[in-house]
Amino acid sequence: MRVVRTSSDLKEGLAPWRRAGERIGLVPTMGALHAGHMALVAAARGECRRVVATIFVNPKQFAPNEDLASYPRPEAADLEILQSAGVELAYLPTADEMYPPHFSTMVRVGGLSEGLCGAHRLGHFDGVATVVTKLLIQSLPDCAYFGEKDYQQLLVIRRLVRDLDLPIRIVGVPTVREPDGLALSSRNLYLSAQERRVAPELSRVLRDVATALEREPGAVRRETERGLAELTHAGFDVEYLEIRDAESLAPVRDLVTAAARVLAAVHLGRTRLIDNVPVASSPATARRG
Ligand code: AMP
């Protein structure tokens, strides 16, 4: 596996593959890799002849009070994981490479970026949209892979690719979970043993809400309130729990009539956790994702 740290080395690494007409898949990450990231690599390998992974802890998507400085950066271990997963090119730019002096352009996706996590992490999705746009333009892959774990992020990226006419297919990959249901996340490393025991309650509550809504699509208010109460009772400090349309993220007020998603963000001690699960629009409709 070749490791490059500048966009010109990235272009040089990609050039022979592009000349040969080989399909290229891109997997952007912030490192501290786990089986969730590896599912993206596996999906890319399934569809693309060549896979490029990026590791970049993007300062523009962290608010000043967030965990940028303490975010885990086990670079050597990450590179070994990528290599053994069959990644052939790893791009690890520095912050200066991505944002040289006088950098002043931001990509902002209206609407989709505004609620849910966007309402609680001001500027977060502008930072995500900006870095992903740059990574996509620098590498110009055929396909790029993102997790449903960050569902709002996935929709923001799909929208920016459409809006900016980037000729890249965005592929969403279902969330990889621990056997007890906890969604894998680099931030799970922050959890104490006691918090780790509580953490799976988040996915359990979301699944229960989704199942109840599939049986009773008109119970949106009741289930939202029940979900919030159960999360609080389990010991989470809840940022939000909401039922949203799975495509537009518009709030579902009373009745689930189309595919929806139950999404939540909570704090457990010093750790912020997010998760989401699908709600099929009628009991007869197979569950997706
Ligand atoms: P991150 O390193 O947290 O920025 O994540 C990089 C990519 O991996 C994003 O597209 C995430 O949505 C995806 N990802 C993170 N955790 C998971 C998971 N548990 N299952 C599937 N994809 C994930």
pLDDT tens, position by position, 186-198: 999 999 999 999 9
3-state secondary structure at position 144 = strand
pTM, rounded to two decimals:
0.96
Domain end (from 114, 138, 173): 173
CA-nearest residue, atom 7 of ligand 1: 29
Assess if residue 180 is contained within a domain: no
Indicate which atom in ligand 1 lies nearest the CA of residue 39: 21
Q: Is 209 exposed, middle or buried (0-12, 13-18, 19+ CB in 10 A)?
A: buried
What number is the average pLDDT over the span 216-243? 98
Q: Are 283 and 218 in contact (CB under 8 A)?
A: no
Domain end (from 125, 143, 173): 173
Assess if residue 196 is contained within a domain: yes
Asked if residue 196 and residue 160 are part of one domain, the reply reads no
Asked if residue 269 and residue 193 are part of one domain, the reply reads yes
3-state secondary structure at position 48 = coil
Q: How many A from CA of 275 to the centre of ligand 1? A: 11
Q: Residue 268 is inside which H or E element, if any? A: strand 260-268
pLDDT confidence bin for 287, thresholds 50/70/90: very low
User: What digits encode the pLDDT tens for the residues 168-220?
Assistant: 999 999 999 999 999 999 999 999 999 999 999 999 999 999 999 999 999 99
Structural domain total, the chain: 2
| Torsion sign, CA atoms 244, 153, 267, 60 | negative
Assess if residue 179 is contained within a domain: no
| Torsion sign, CA atoms 190, 193, 197, 198 | negative
User: What digits encode the pLDDT tens for the residues 15-62?
Assistant: 999 999 999 999 999 999 999 999 999 999 999 999 999 999 999 999
Asked if pLDDT for residue 125 goes beyond 60, the answer is yes
Residue-level pLDDT at 286: 42
Which CATH number belongs to the domain containing residue 251 in this structure? 3.30.1300.10
Q: Residue 97 is inside which H or E element, if any? A: helix 95-98
What average pLDDT does the structure give for the chain?
96
pLDDT confidence bin for 281, thresholds 50/70/90: confident
Most informative mutation of 87, 150, 177 for ligand 1 (most atoms within 8 A of CB): 150
Q: How far apart are CA 240 and CA 255, in angstroms?
A: 19
pLDDT confidence bin for 285, thresholds 50/70/90: very low
Assess if residue 289 is contained within a domain: no
Ligand 1: does its nearest atom lie under 6 Å from the Cβ of 40?
yes
Assess if residue 242 is contained within a domain: yes
- The distance in angstroms from the start CA to the end CA of the chain is 31
Most informative mutation of 149, 155, 187 for ligand 1 (most atoms within 8 A of CB): 149
Domain end (from 149, 173, 197): 173
Asked if residue 200 and residue 167 are part of one domain, the reply reads no
Asked if pLDDT for residue 289 goes beyond 90, the answer is no
Ligand 1: does its nearest atom lie under 6 Å from the Cβ of 172?
no
Reply yes or no on whether 37 is catalytic.
Answer: yes
Asked if residue 126 and residue 52 are part of one domain, the reply reads yes
Provide, rounded to the nearest whole percent, the portion of the chain with pLDDT above 70. Answer: 97
Provide, rounded to the nearest whole percent, the portion of the chain with pLDDT above 90. Answer: 94
Q: Which two tokens stand for residue 266?
A: 């909570």
Q: Where in the sequence is the domain holding 235, given as residue range(s)?
A: 186-281
User: What digits encode the pLDDT tens for the residues 99-122?
Assistant: 999 999 999 999 999 999 999 999
Residue-level pLDDT at 83: 98
Write the CB contacts of 242 (distance below 8 Å, at least 6 apart in sequence).
115, 116, 224, 251, 262, 263, 264
Ligand 1: does its nearest atom lie under 6 Å from the Cβ of 128?
no
Ligand 1: does its nearest atom lie under 6 Å from the Cβ of 147?
yes
Q: How many A from CA of 102 to the centre of ligand 1? A: 30
Most informative mutation of 26, 27, 29, 171 for ligand 1 (most atoms within 8 A of CB): 29
